[in-house]
Amino acid sequence: MDSFQIFTSIRYDPALLKVPDFGFANTGWNQEPSPFYMLDFHRDRMLRAAIYWKWEAAIATISGEEGLENLKRFLQSITSELDDSPHRVMITLAQDGSLAHQISSLPVTGLSNLLPDWLPSPNLEDSDQVKAGKTPTKDSVYEIVLDNQKTAKSEFTHYKTTSREMYNGARKRAHINPGDKKEALLVNEDGHIMEGTITTPYFWRGEKWVTPPVPAQFNASRGSGGNDGTTRRWALERNLVTAQIVFADSLVDGEECWISNGLRGFICGKVKLH
C-alpha cells in the first residue's frame, strides 16, 4: 500500500450556531453552539484510525481535550475568512501529526436534515409524517444502486483514508459524476451491504431503520466491513436506527432508504435495481 493519510470531511455551516435557539436538543457537539458539524465525532474517528496504525505523532496531535481544542483552533483559523454559506472542509492527518486542508462550497441543508429527531417510516403518508421533534425533509431524493462487483473488507473500508480506490471504482462503474444525486452501495464478499461510496445507508427492516454493523475497531471477522461513520454513530446513539446485517439480495426495486454523511446530514433515497 502506498503512503496514505487519515482524513475526514467536516461541514462548516454558520447556520449550526442557531441550533439551541431553534429548540434542537440532544445534539451533542453542536449544542455548544459550533459551526462545525459533529466535530467531536470527526476527531474521535480520526483518532481511532491513528491508534490502529500506531501513528504516535498523529495521536498526540488530536488526542484528549487538548487535541480536540487543537483541531477546533485549526478549523477556526482556516474558516475565519469564509462567508456565511456552508463549506466542505477536508482535513487530512499525516503520520507525522501534521494537519492539512482543502475547502469547497456546499449547498444549503436544513437543520432538521442535519440533526433529525427521527427518520420517518416509508409506510406513512406525507400527511401522517407529523411527529414531535425535528423531521428531515425528502426534498432531494437520491437514486441508490448496487455496485456490480464485490469489495473485500479491509482497514481501508473501516477507517477513512486517502486510499479510496474501492470507492472511486464503484462510482465509476455506476457512472456517478460530481454533483449527481446518486449513490452506489458496496457489497462485501458475503453478499452483505457494506456502505455507500460516500454515505452510510439505512434500510427499513422489521418496522425499524437498520444500518450494516461496524465494530468499534477493525476486525475482518466481524461486521459488514463498512466505514466507522460520524452520522452513523450519531443515529445509533440516539436510537434513530439499529445495527443489523442487510443482505444485498433483500433490496427491493423502488424501496425507500436513507443515506447520511458528515457533509450533507440525512438524505432520502430510493433503491434502483433495474
Domains of the chain: 6-108 (3.30.470.10), 113-271 (3.20.10.10)
CB 223 within 8 A of CB 215: yes
pLDDT for 127: 43
Are 213 and 241 in contact by the 8 Å Cβ rule? The answer is no
The pLDDT tens digits of the residues spanning 207-222 come to 999 999 999 899 989 9
Q: What is the pLDDT of residue 105?
A: 97
pTM: 0.95
DSSP string, 212-225: ----SS--TTSS--
Residue 41 neighbours by CB under 8 Å, 6+ apart: 28, 29, 230, 233, 234, 262
Split the chain (274 residues) into runs of 10 and give each run's mean pLDDT.
88 97 94 96 98 98 98 98 97 98 97 96 63 81 97 97 97 96 98 98 97 94 94 98 98 98 98 94
Task: Write out the three cell numbers for 33.
Answer: 453552539
d(CA 118, CA 102): 32
Q: What pLDDT sits at residue 14?
A: 98
Looking at residue 131, its pLDDT comes to 55
CA–CA gap between residue 39 and residue 150 (Å, rounded): 32
Residue 139: per-residue pLDDT: 86
Distant-in-sequence, close-in-space partners of 13: CB < 8 Å, separation ≥ 6? 35, 37, 86, 87, 106, 109, 114
pLDDT at 143: 98
Strand segments, DSSP code E, in the chain are 6-12, 87-93, 99-105, 142-150, 182-187, 193-196, 200-205, 208-211, 242-243, 256-261, 265-271
Instruction: Quote the pLDDT of residue 95.
Output: 97
Alpha helix stretches (DSSP H) within 53-212: 56-62, 64-79, 111-114, 155-158, 165-173
Q: Where are the alpha helices (DSSP H) in 131-216?
A: 155-158, 165-173
- Tens digit of each residue's pLDDT (9 = 90 or more) over 173-197: 999 999 999 999 999 999 999 999 9
Q: Taking a C-beta distance cutoff of 8 angstroms, is the pair 174, 67 a contact?
A: no
